[in-house]
Amino acid sequence: MTDSFFTRTLGLSGLVLLGLGGCSQVAQLPAPPNPLSVNRSEAAAPSRPPLPLPENGNFIVAAVEREGAAVVRINASRRVGNADPFGGLFGGPPANDRVERGSGSGFIFDSNGLLMTNAHVVEGADRVQVRLKDGRTYEGKVLGADSVTDVAVVKIDAKDLPTVRLGNSDQLRPGEWAIAIGNPLGLDSTVTVGIISATGRSSSEVGIPDKRVGFIQTDAAINPGNSGGPLLNAAGEVIGINTAIRADGQGIGFAVPINTARRIADQIIQTGKASHPLLGVQMLPLTPEIAQENNRNPNARIKLPEIEGALIVQVLPNSPAAAAGIRRGDVITTADGQSIRSASDLQAAVEKKKVGDRLSLDLLRQQQKRQVTVQLAEIPQQ
């Protein structure tokens, strides 16, 4: 049974996370020696040319033959309580003896047994089993799972394993080839192909407002069980982690960019968790068209500038934004001197900072220009 208790449908968007069950770097302190540290000489390399083609000249076959051995199946399970208060004395099952199971995908990025998957594939699991393509099965240890970016790192006790090559998701362009490998609906080692439909999809656009990721959108077919599996480019490099689909659409899937996933995985390996800076606002993209529509409304409480920017719709109490004097209705236009043309631009500016850093913001408030400096706090773990 695939994705039994791990699949979640969120709100009216029909978004499904396909497995069990926001984002900047921690302060860059010198990391202590770590036996799980990854040899990233290959991971840090620039994007490579396409793999040598097989005899039939198919680059998809070449990519799958090179990377497919490093794609794994993850079976996760947990015990849950039941409603029998007598622990089975009167014929019912004993309390806490029911086991819920789900499955997803993952990929090995270090030959000494480190693999990436989605956090929602392994969150809450009491037991994680990892099955390789060649049939070998290992018990997995979850080193950390970050729900804000939906990235997790799992360790298995094995050496000399096949690994994927990590690409550069910052260089993606809509229209490029996209290849998904995973285990949808229990069908192991399934390959689908499509294109990169869009990049930088904000969490609000995707329908997961509690995440802080600029998602990759793809029309490569992904289904429950694909979650945590790799999305490859034409060169056979991993460019994303397949994460969610729109259940109310066709050919609308989303992946966490590999640059984001790699950064979070590094933090998890070094510290056991990821740390994220908090600004403390809810925002929407502002365009001249949106502003004009608002301003034509005689009941509108405020007049909006007919520009592009990030419109603040709520300021969280006791947040860094509140302490800096940011108000509902403010329009953020620059961050540290860089133009802000949308809510996702402001999110990206925050993600580039570390907890405790200061962020200089220019904003418009009732047509008046203002400048504020915000000292970013840390998003609580819960």
Q: Residues 212, 22: contact at Cβ < 8 Å?
A: yes
Catalytic residue among 24, 110, 120, 275: 120
Spatial distance between the Cα atoms of 129 and 206, rounded to a whole number of angstroms? 30
CA angle, 175 then 180 then 182, to 5°: 170
The total number of residues shown for the chain amounts to 382
Which residues lie across from 11 on neighbouring strands?
none
3, 110, 146, 150: the catalytic one is 150
- Residue 204 Cα distances to 165, 208, 336, 339, angstroms: 30, 6, 24, 20
CA distance 333 to 311: 9
Residue 304 makes CB contacts below 8 A (sequence gap 6+) with 286, 290, 291, 294, 295, 311, 329, 331
Largest CA distance in the chain: 72
Is 330 considered catalytic here? no
**Alpha-carbon torsion, ordered 114, 117, 121, 127, to 10 deg:** -10
Pick from 102, 115, 104, 151: nearest CA to 255 = 151
Contact 344, 333 (CB under 8 A): no
* The residue to which tokens 């365009």 are assigned: 287
Asked about 227 being catalytic, the answer comes back as: yes
d(CA 221, CA 194): 7
Catalytic-residue membership of 120: yes
| Long-range CB contacts for residues 204-207, cutoff 8 Å, separation at least 24 | 204/284, 204/343, 206/13, 206/15, 206/244, 206/254, 207/10, 207/11, 207/13, 207/14, 207/15, 207/246
Q: For residue 25, what is the DSSP state?
A: B
The catalytic position among 105, 202, 227, 344 is 227
- Across 192-204, b (16+ Cβ under 10 Å) vs e yields bbbebbbbbbbbb
Catalogue the active-site residues.
Answer: 120, 150, 227
